Amino acid sequence: MKRLTAAFAAALAFALGPPALADESIVIKFSHVVAPDAPKGKTALVFKELAEKYTNGRVKVEVYPNSSLYKDKEELEALQLGSVQLLAPSISKFSPLGAKEFDVFDLPFLSSDDAHARQMFTSPLMGEFNRKLESKGVSALAYWDNGATVYTCNRPLIWPEDFRGLKLRIQGGKVLDAQVRELGAIPQILPFSEVYQALQTGVVDGEDNVPSNVLTQKFYEVQKHLTVSYHGRVTYALITNKTFWNSLPGDVRAQLDRAVAESTEFFNATAAKDNADALDKIKASGKTELHYLTEAEKKAWITKLMPVHTEMQGRFGKDFIERVYKASGFTPPQS
Ligand code: LMR
């Protein structure tokens, strides 16, 4: 009898498997640098909700907004080390990963409209870029295009010559650097979390960003002028650690893929509206004067910045850039 009880107990223990495993959730740390109410901040919370729901709690998502866990550069290193499982950084910050090819998407005026940009970031072209990331131990799960950028500064930036001698914050990469130099200004890479203070103290005179970041980070409080130039874009890559993702049980990964797809839909539906609303709110604040470029002014910017495209042929190769033009629908202006 005793033996039967012992055998039954052993069988039961095996059936249940090690007790710890059954209850242990898979934790996904999702770190990002923007405010919780910015498009990416909202979408991270939607992803959390969907991932936990679709996996019936087998996955727990911890969201760390506003650089509360890692700043820009650190978060990429932490992802490669496996200390964080999910990020959605701007692809303008991928040079330190050794994926400088992503800088090509910063070519001035490459795609000023959301539709073309979304088409490009879901096109087969991205296969090349994803393979580059895979070679660095990083898997891209989706691209979230957050729209076109505007310039802010404490003086009006209407014509290219208005930039002369300014110190301007950039996200990173050789293309944004070349763009600012072409305008006769001085580029300075700064982590996102340090931009407000740098603008407030005059370490830099201005910066470019999407309106929703200018609003949610309160840059407009310390910048008297905003030019609606739409000269660039802020696009995120939702990325994970390749080893972590491949180690997930197949059914869990399938549920997470579903959560990624639905979060991406949410992002695409939210970003355009939030950026348009942000411009209205900044204007309504009365703290910042908005300047919409006329056709003539925009033409002057494009003419001034086209040499950056030519310069970058040396860095990326003409063929590569032409493949990107094709995917983005960009046609270089006839000189
Ligand atoms: C920036 O650094 O300005 C942006 O990339 C921040 C963000 O993630 O939107």
Closest atom of ligand 1 to CA, residue 33: 8
Decide which of 183 and 23 is more confident: 183
Model confidence band, residue 241 (pLDDT cutoffs 50, 70, 90): very high
Residue 90 Cβ < 6 Å to ligand 1: yes
Do 210 and 147 touch, CB atoms closer than 8 A? Answer: yes
Residue 212 Cβ < 6 Å to ligand 1: no
Residue 192 Cβ < 6 Å to ligand 1: yes
Q: Give percent of the chain above pLDDT 70.
A: 93
Q: How far is the CA of 195 from the centre of ligand 1 (A)?
A: 10
Residue 171 Cβ < 6 Å to ligand 1: yes
Closest atom of ligand 1 to CA, residue 169: 3
pTM for the model? 0.92
Residue 235 Cβ < 6 Å to ligand 1: no
Is it the case that residue 304 has pLDDT exceeding 60? yes
Least confident window among 10-19, 27-36, 182-191, 209-218: 10-19
Q: What is the pLDDT of residue 252?
A: 98
Q: What is the pLDDT of residues 11-48, one digit of tens each?
A: 555 455 544 545 578 999 999 999 999 999 999 999 99
Q: What is the pLDDT of residue 284?
A: 98
Do 252 and 26 touch, CB atoms closer than 8 A? Answer: yes
Q: Give percent of the chain above pLDDT 90.
A: 90
Residue 199 Cβ < 6 Å to ligand 1: no
Is it the case that residue 181 has pLDDT exceeding 80? yes
Residue 301 CA from chain centroid, whole number: 25
Q: What is the pLDDT of residue 333?
A: 84
Tokens of 182: 């072409």
Q: How far is the CA of 32 from the centre of ligand 1 (A)?
A: 9
Q: How far is the CA of 286 from the centre of ligand 1 (A)?
A: 24
Angle at which helices 114-121 and 318-328 cross, to 10°:
120
Q: How far is the CA of 89 from the centre of ligand 1 (A)?
A: 7
Q: How far is the CA of 127 from the centre of ligand 1 (A)?
A: 23
Nearest-CA residue for ligand 1 atom 5 is: 90
Q: What is the pLDDT of residue 223?
A: 98
Tokens of 225: 């002028």
Q: How far is the CA of 115 from the centre of ligand 1 (A)?
A: 21
Closest atom of ligand 1 to CA, residue 210: 9
Q: How far is the CA of 6 from the centre of ligand 1 (A)?
A: 60
Residue 234 Cβ < 6 Å to ligand 1: yes
The single residue listed with the structure tokens 């003539």 is 296
Residue 170 Cβ < 6 Å to ligand 1: no
Q: What is the pLDDT of residue 112?
A: 78
Q: Work out the average pLDDT over 86-112.
A: 96
Is it the case that residue 172 has pLDDT exceeding 70? yes
Is it the case that residue 7 has pLDDT exceeding 90? no
Q: What is the pLDDT of residue 10?
A: 55
Q: What is the pLDDT of residues 49-77, one digit of tens each?
A: 999 999 999 999 999 999 999 999 899 99
Q: What is the pLDDT of residue 3?
A: 53
Model confidence band, residue 335 (pLDDT cutoffs 50, 70, 90): low
Q: What is the pLDDT of residue 23?
A: 55
Q: Work out the average pLDDT over 97-119.
A: 94
Pairing of strands 86-87, 186-189: unpaired
Residue 213 Cβ < 6 Å to ligand 1: yes
Q: What is the pLDDT of residue 290?
A: 98
